[in-house]
């Protein structure tokens, strides 16, 4: 087989792989939060803007929305016996994407309050780093939102 045919075949195979879009090691857009179980006040509320240019459905068919390359918030969490609840409050239709300490991706679209707000509940959270993205459903526009971090209730 010629070098050119091998090169073209390898290029086509690489093009079929999903692109790594989210950079969970990038500097977070809205900062880093360090919390340990029993934190106060509960909830912790961080003002963010949802959205970005990356379609998160390319990450997983279960995920929805458009997010930025860098995480919006990095949460360093020391877990205890309480759940960890991440939720978003916004007048826009938002989504939530989290890369947990276990390296798994967790996504929600409308699981929170008010119908269009997302929420993720970790009943037995792991200690470690949670990379959090707040997406905008349906388009890449940026929208005002609040990330709520709680052990007691979701927004």
For the stretch 3-49, pLDDT in tens is: 333 333 333 333 333 334 578 789 999 999 999 999 999 999 999 99
Q: What are phi and psi of 6, to 5 degrees?
A: -65, -45
Q: What are phi and psi of 130, to 5 degrees?
A: -115, 120
Q: Considering the chain, what percentage of its residues have pLDDT values greater than 90?
A: 70
Asked if residue 113 lies in contact with residue 155, where contact means CB atoms within 8 angstroms, the answer is yes
Q: CA of 19: how far to CAs of 11, 23, 24, in Å?
A: 13, 11, 14
Ordered domains of the chain (ranges, CATH): 3-150 (2.60.120.380)
pTM of the model: 0.84
Task: Give the per-residue pLDDT at 154.
Answer: 63
For the stretch 107-145, pLDDT in tens is: 999 887 767 899 999 999 999 999 999 999 988 889 999
Q: From CA 96, how far away is CA 109, in angstroms rounded?
A: 6
Residue with tokens 């509940």: 121
Task: Give the per-residue pLDDT at 114.
Answer: 66
């Amino acid at each position: 087989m010629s070098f050119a045919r091998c090169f073209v075949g390898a290029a086509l195979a690489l093009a079929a792989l999903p692109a790594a879009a989210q950079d969970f090691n990038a500097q977070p857009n809205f900062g880093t939060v360090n919390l340990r179980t029993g934190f106060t006040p509960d909830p912790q509320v961080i003002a963010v803007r949802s959205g970005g240019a990356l379609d998160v459905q390319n990450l997983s068919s279960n995920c929805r929305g458009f997010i930025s390359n860098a995480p919006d918030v990095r949460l360093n969490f020391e877990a205890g016996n309480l759940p960890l609840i991440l939720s978003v409050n916004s007048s826009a239709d938002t989504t939530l994407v989290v890369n947990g300490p276990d390296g798994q991706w967790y996504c929600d679209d409308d699981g929170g309050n008010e119908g269009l707000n997302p929420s993720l509940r970790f009943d037995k959270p792991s200690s470690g780093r949670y990379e959090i993205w707040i997406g905008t459903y349906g388009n890449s526009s940026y929208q005002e939102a609040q990330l709520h971090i709680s052990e007691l209730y979701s927004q």
